[in-house]
């Protein structure tokens, strides 16, 4: 029986998606042994801009023609702006403390990982009530020194918005068929059945932590950043065998 086809349709109801906003940012500072410490909530984040570099095609010419095109390796870079930051960020920003609120600058910068969420709207839906979102997990980051401007308070005061540029060293994925990566993105719209939604919740419980239940004494768990292979395992995407 021959294949059947339908004419393409645009702007169908309930398929007018767009992505906006950023929230639920979590910082996972890297330990000396390259593992990640328990995550801490990063409030006040206003913008995260991904700015990958590399990956450009390098054309090769021979015999008076374009002979081939070799594409270079891609590097993950990004910028983050925020009104504030958690104490754990100070070491990532090149400061260490001997205690009592004293921070010594120009020290070794700790590496870190991030998790954050962007919202997906659909048509005229209010983003504040959006159910769909993208989870972004970023690994192997370090932050560059950043400019800070302190202005006098005047009749039109503004809060200081800090900004950092970040670069990443990709990490390996043991699952066959994938190159090393710096970022994973998870689309909540793809988790449709109750079983699939339970897998996504298990991942979010890992990323955000689970509170100990004082009434039942049920044990909680800290917020941790799973490796890409661990993410695939939690979502039951690791190939058998």
User: Hey, which bits of 77-131 come out as E strands?
Assistant: 77-82, 96-99, 102-104, 112-122
Query: What confidence score (pLDDT) does residue 64 get?
Result: 76
Rg of the chain in Å (alpha carbons): 22
Query: What confidence score (pLDDT) does residue 130 get?
Result: 67
126 pLDDT above the threshold of 80: no
Number of domains forming the structure of the chain: 1
Q: Output the domain CATH number for residue 96.
A: 2.30.110
**Is 161 domain-assigned?**
yes
Average pLDDT of span 228-240: 87
**Is 36 domain-assigned?**
yes
For residues 22 and 54, the model is more confident at 22
> Predicted confidence band at 241 (pLDDT cuts at 50, 70, 90)?
very low
**Is 61 domain-assigned?**
no
**Is 34 domain-assigned?**
yes
Query: What confidence score (pLDDT) does residue 23 get?
Result: 94
Q: Are 199 and 236 in contact (CB under 8 A)?
A: yes
35 pLDDT above the threshold of 90: yes
What are the tokens at 90?
Answer: 């100070």
- 78-118: per-residue pLDDT in tens? 999 999 999 999 999 999 999 888 999 999 999 999 999 99
Domain that holds residue 24: 17-55+71-191
Average pLDDT of span 16-40: 93
Average pLDDT of span 190-209: 96
Average pLDDT of span 200-212: 95
Work out the widest C-alpha separation in the chain, in whole angstroms. 78
**Is 232 domain-assigned?**
no
Q: What is the mean pLDDT of the chain?
A: 89
181 pLDDT above the threshold of 80: yes
232 sits in which H/E element: helix 228-234
**Is 221 domain-assigned?**
no
42 pLDDT above the threshold of 90: yes
Average pLDDT of span 119-140: 82
Torsion of the alpha carbons at 138, 32, 106 and 166, rounded to the nearest 10 = -10
**Is 40 domain-assigned?**
yes
**Is 97 domain-assigned?**
yes
Measured distance CA(211)–CA(205) in Å, rounded: 10
């Amino acid at each position: 029986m021959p294949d059947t086809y339908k004419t393409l349709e645009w702007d169908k109801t309930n398929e007018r998606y767009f992505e906006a906003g950023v929230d639920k940012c979590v910082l996972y500072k890297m330990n000396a042994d390259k593992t990640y410490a328990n995550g801490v909530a990063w409030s006040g984040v206003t913008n995260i801009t991904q700015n990958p570099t590399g990956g450009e095609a390098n054309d090769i010419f021979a015999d008076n023609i374009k002979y081939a095109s070799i594409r270079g390796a891609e590097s993950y870079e990004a910028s983050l702006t925020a009104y504030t930051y958690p104490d754990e960020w100070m070491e990532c920003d090149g400061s260490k403390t001997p205690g009592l609120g004293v921070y010594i600058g120009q020290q070794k910068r700790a590496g870190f990982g991030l998790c954050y969420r962007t919202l997906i709207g659909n048509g005229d839906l209010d983003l504040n009530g959006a159910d769909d979102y993208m989870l972004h997990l970023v690994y192997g980051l370090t932050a560059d020194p950043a400019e800070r401007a302190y202005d006098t308070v005047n009749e039109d005061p503004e809060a200081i918005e800090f900004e950092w540029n970040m670069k990443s060293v990709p990490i390996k994925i043991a699952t066959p068929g994938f190159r090393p990566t710096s970022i994973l993105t998870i689309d909540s719209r793809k988790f449709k059945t109750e079983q699939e939604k339970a897998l996504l919740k298990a991942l979010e419980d890992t990323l955000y932590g689970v509170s100990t239940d004082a009434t039942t004494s049920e044990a909680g768990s800290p917020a941790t950043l799973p490796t890409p292979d661990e993410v695939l395992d939690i979502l039951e995407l690791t190939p058998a065998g």
